[in-house]
Structure 1
Amino acid sequence: MANTIDTGVTSTLNGGGSAGLNAGQSSALRENFMTLLVTQLQNQDPLNPMDNHQTTSQLAQINTVSGIEKLNDSLSEINGQIDAGQSLQASGLIGKGVLVPGNRVLLSQGEDGEVTTTPFGVELQRPADNVTVTITNGDGQVINRYDVGAVESGVDSFSWNGKTSSGETAAEGAYNVSVEATYEGEPVAVEALNYAVVNSVSPADENSDIQLDLGAVYGRVGLPDIKQIL
């Protein structure tokens, strides 16, 4: 549930590939085993033939190689199913707003003077008893600074009310967000997150994982970069 903080910031709290031989390699290795075994049988000394233990041992190795090949085929099929499932899930994000690593927030004004800003967020590695958010313009000038207070670890989303430090409405445009966090005076690792809309999804292939297109400004990101769905 969103609740308004006196500071002017609104917060919403939120709580591979297969290893081993590929099919071609394992098939070639199995052929080599068979060739070696047949050659040994053809050229063995009739007076001192290869004993059953040696033959059984080599046949067991052939079966092991065949088993590896079948296992790799099964793993490839499973990976393909996982990729297809992830692509299907990712396609459900098209048109939705997400928080990804970044520090951008946009402010716009309607004809009726209503101010709208895009959400932003923070990701904390551990709880902080003091979090400070600073809004700056493109020239690095501080527009406003808010003491948010204590924030739990994880991802939290916020919205800026669009006000400057003097209480006036800031001009339309893009602004930057920076975040500092401490616990008992010691710095806490924190990452700023910005809002973007998922335009399309590119399925995984042999060269890359699933990619989400966030538009010209934010480019493409992977599924692990999605920190929160809004």
Structure 2
Amino acid sequence: MSVDISTLQSLGLTQTAQSTKKSNELGQDAFLKLMTTQLQNQNPLDPQDGAAFVAQLAQFSMVSGIQSLGSKFDSFSSSVTENQALQASQLIGKDVAVASTKGVLGANGGVSGHAVLPVESDLVTLRVKNSSGVTVRTVDLGSQAAGRLAFEWDGLKDDGVSRAAPGVYSVTLEAMLDGKTQALETNIRTPVEAVTLGGSQGIEVDLGVLGRHGLGDIREVL
């Protein structure tokens, strides 16, 4: 069955120079008008097949449902992001343990954090290097049980007397596991200075000298 183009124009279903759409989407009202026009103009000797009519309605209903679902999902996603941003803002001024190999040594105090030992180790070693890659302190932590392992560097060099200059240092933990020395993931304790929205990792916490980290890098809120 064909529909005269003038009929479609009278229903406002064709594009004109004054009215253009970004796509060929067919709205619900236009679809129902088109279906009504088809019924009114069908050949009485060869009427519209009922099954085909129902199939067209079903297809439109499915597309409409998908569009509605997409709209609701966008709204839900926006709500989740806003909630995460609100929660992240409460971290400002608090200390967190973030997955990092860098620690900041201030004029006073030291660098602290923790790691997780998967199994017991007979030998765990803490190594601290400066920005040039030179080791300034090596601490033998001895035998350690499996689980959370806290560590702290007081800022003193290997001589145990002189103090390292303030700055950013590389902090690593090495454990003897299955006869091999393996590096553990270090989680450094540091304060949150600000929260950034829309960063490369979504919502990010600004850790000052340690840079920005995604919420997924935070291991603990202290």
Confirm whether residue 56 of structure 1 aligns to residue 49 of structure 2: no
Q: Which residue of 2 aligns with 1:209?
A: 202
User: Which structure 1 segments of 5+ residues have no match?
Assistant: 1-23, 110-115
Quote how far apart the aligned CAs of 1:171 are: 2.9
Contact 1:212 1:220 in 2 (8 A): yes
The change in CA–CA distance for 1:151 and 1:70 in structure 2 (over 3 A counts) is farther
Q: Which residue of 2 aligns with 1:152?
A: 146
SS in 2 for 1:74: helix
Contact 2:105 2:155 in 1 (8 A): no
Cα-to-partner distance string for 1:87-133 (whole Å, 9 max, x where unaligned):
11101100112222232241534xxxxxx113233356x33524321
Contact 2:173 2:183 in 1 (8 A): no
Quote how far apart the aligned CAs of 1:62 are: 1.1
Contact 1:30 1:62 in 2 (8 A): no
Quote how far apart the aligned CAs of 1:204 are: 4.4
Amino acid at match of 2:114: G
Residue 79 of structure 1, aligned match among 77, 88, 104: 77
Contact 1:33 1:62 in 2 (8 A): no
Structure with bigger RCO (C-alpha 8 Å, 6+ apart): 1
The change in CA–CA distance for 1:37 and 1:152 in structure 2 (over 3 A counts) is farther
SS in 1 for 2:84: helix
**2-side partners of 1:167 and 1:183: how far apart?**
28
Q: Which residue of 2 aligns with 1:191?
A: 185
Quote how far apart the aligned CAs of 1:59 are: 0.6
Q: Which residue of 2 aligns with 1:104?
A: 103
User: Which structure 2 segments of 5+ residues have no match?
Assistant: 1-20
Question: Which is greater in Rg?
Answer: 2
**2-side partners of 1:186 and 1:29: how far apart?**
66
Contact 1:128 1:181 in 2 (8 A): no
**1-side partners of 2:131 and 2:204: how far apart?**
29
**2-side partners of 1:181 and 1:29: how far apart?**
64
Cα-to-partner distance string for 1:38-76 (whole Å, 9 max, x where unaligned):
675466443222221111111111111121122122212
Contact 1:134 1:179 in 2 (8 A): yes
Map of 1:110-125 to 2, 5 A cutoff?
Answer: 116-122=109-115
SS in 2 for 1:210: strand
The change in CA–CA distance for 1:74 and 1:151 in structure 2 (over 3 A counts) is farther
Structure 1 residue ranges, 4+ long, deviating more than 6 angstroms after superposition: 24-27
Q: Which residue of 1 aligns with 2:91?
A: 93
**2-side partners of 1:123 and 1:42: how far apart?**
75
CA RMSD in angstroms comes to: 3.4
**2-side partners of 1:164 and 1:190: how far apart?**
22
Contact 1:137 1:176 in 2 (8 A): yes
Quote how far apart the aligned CAs of 1:28 are: 2.1
Contact 1:105 1:177 in 2 (8 A): no
SS in 2 for 1:163: coil
**2-side partners of 1:229 and 1:86: how far apart?**
15
Quote how far apart the aligned CAs of 1:33 are: 8.8
Map of 1:16-27 to 2, 5 A cutoff?
Answer: none
Confirm whether residue 28 of structure 1 aligns to residue 25 of structure 2: yes
**1-side partners of 2:145 and 2:22: how far apart?**
53
SS in 2 for 1:201: strand
**1-side partners of 2:182 and 2:59: how far apart?**
55
TM-score calculated relative to the size of structure 2: 0.71
Contact 1:95 1:197 in 2 (8 A): yes
Quote how far apart the aligned CAs of 1:170 are: 2.2
SS in 2 for 1:86: helix
Contact 2:129 2:170 in 1 (8 A): yes
